A and B are shown apart, each in its own frame.
Chain A
Amino acid sequence: MNEERTDPMEERMDQLMRALDGELDAAERTAFEARLAEDPELREEWRRLSRAREATMGMKLRHPPEEVWDGYWTSVYSRTERGLGWILVSFGVIVVGGWAAWIWVGELLADTTMPLIVRLGMVAMFTGVVILAVSVVRHRINVLRTDPYKDIQR
């Protein structure tokens, strides 16, 4: 995956990076130091980049609580089970709920003893309740997915 650099700017950039990360061999290092000594612009860039390197070298990624590792695999496995569970539940709810709603709306609209406006109002109310329920369930799912404490065993 190595490629030849022909652009002098790219070559200079590579040399700076490799020098910062200690990836130059002895001969390359000597040549780089000679270049540094005679090029004030390169020296200034080296100073700035060295400072950036030093800033990150003094830091590390923060460790999580040890409990996180205890339940890690269980949580991964639960996610796959939950995925299948949700697919089946969603399928069932859509089929059964859709069928029930179809029957109920059909009967309601066919009931001529009730004024039309009341029948339409009930259909609107039912539709609204379904939309709100779906919205709340979806929100709960999103919260569960991002809840940082759900997998921690106390």
Chain B
Amino acid sequence: MSRLAARYMDASEASLVRSASRGDKTAFGELVRRNMQAAYYAALGLVGSPDDALDLSQDAFARALKHAAKLDPGRPFYPWYYAILRRLCFNFLRDRKNRQRLLDEQGAWLAHDLSGGGPGEDPEARLGREDARRIVARALSRLPETQREVLVLREFEDLKYQEIADLLEIPVGTVMSRLYAARRALADALEEQ
């Protein structure tokens, strides 16, 4: 847990987690403020819808608050919270209606990195980039949840393999297998273009 702890935890967090576990809502609020953006983006990567990501990430914090007494002051808050969040997101994705709606959204939750374009960009190149965005978003939304999760953590959250393994409590080999399967599916989708 050391790499993960280094990423998510500092000295003041240990004290916040301790206070939150004793029912201090102000301390819990501070933990929410520190982690809300990471939570939102993690949910967005998983469900692919900004509105649902906001709703699910807040719902997960509300559930975490309800079970705050179970917090371990010796461990970082975010991985504990993330376990709740991913369960909610996976349940959400297993609802067929939600899944169909997300497929129809054409990847509005993804954006191009600003370094890749600009106002003076060639219109043809812009169209190509938009197509690529739609293809990537569609391919991502069709991946099994566990593969999509690993790909999002690696590509958009920039986590190392070991950090992903620690966060998901799986072996590093499994991280690489899921990443490989996800990238192959993505490569197939791009080839079909």
Residues of A within 8 A of B (CB): 1-3, 5, 10, 13-14, 16-18, 20-21, 23, 48-49, 51-53, 55-64, 68-69, 72-73, 75-77, 79-80, 83, 145-146, 148, 151
Contacts and interface: CB of A to CB of B under 8 A. Distances in A.
- A-side interface mostly: helix
Contact of B32 (A13, A72, A145): A72
Interface residues of B, number: 56
A79 B37 contact: no
Among A1, A49, A62, A79, residue most surrounded by chain B Cβ atoms (within 10 Å):
A1
Given A3-B173, A5-B173, A58 B54 contact: no
Interface of B: 25, 29, 32-33, 36-37, 40-41, 44-45, 50-52, 54-55, 58-59, 61-62, 65-66, 108-113, 116, 129, 132-133, 135-136, 151, 154-156, 160-162, 165-166, 170-173, 176-177, 179-180, 183-184, 186-187, 190-191
A49 B112 contact: no
Contact of B156 (A60, A64, A69, A145): A60
Contacts, number: 133
B173 A10 contact: yes
Contact of B61 (A2, A51, A76, A83): A76
A48 B41 contact: no
Contact of A64 (B40, B62, B180, B187): B40
Among B55, B59, B132, residue most surrounded by chain A Cβ atoms (within 10 Å):
B55
